[in-house]
Amino acid sequence: MNVAARLRRPQAERSEAAEHVGKAVAADASSRVVVLGDLNGTTDDGELAPSPRDFTRPRPPPAPASVTYPASFPVVRIDQILLRGVEPHRSWVLPANGSDHFPAASGISW
C-alpha cells in the first residue's frame, strides 16, 4: 500500500464510524440523548456525526483549559459532549489518566 493510501485509510475508517454513530443517534426516538467521547473532530468538522447542529452542548472553558488532545501537548478539543433533551451546565477537562486524551466532563440536568 502506498503512502497516500495509508493516509486515506484512517480517514475512511473515521468517516464510516461517524456515519454509524450518526445513523444510530438519528434513529433513537428517546427524548433525552447524550453523546460524549472521543469523536475525533471539532464541532466545526463537517463529517462529525451526529451533527453538532442537532444538539446543544455545554459551554467549554476558554482555551487552553478546554483542549483535550493530545495529552502530551493539548492543542484541540476533539472530545465532545453533545446533548438533546437535557440542560447543559458548565463543562471542564479532567486531569490526565494515562490516555492520549484528557477526558471532558459536564454537569447536566433534566
58/52 Cα distance (integer angstroms): 12
DSSP bridge pairs for 89: none
According to the model, what pLDDT value does residue 55 have?
A: 85
Q: Given a cut of 90, is residue 72 above it in pLDDT?
A: yes
Higher pLDDT, 92 or 19: 92
What's the CA dihedral at 89, 56, 81, 54 to 10 degrees?
170
97/41 Cα distance (integer angstroms): 21
Could you report the per-residue pLDDT of 26-68, keeping only the tens digit for each?
888 999 999 888 888 887 877 777 777 778 889 888 888 899 9
Give percent above pLDDT 70 in the chain.
Answer: 92
- Confidence bin at 5 (pLDDT 50/70/90): low
pTM equals 0.79
Q: Where are the domains of the chain?
A: 3-109
What's the CA dihedral at 83, 89, 90, 91 to 10 degrees?
-30
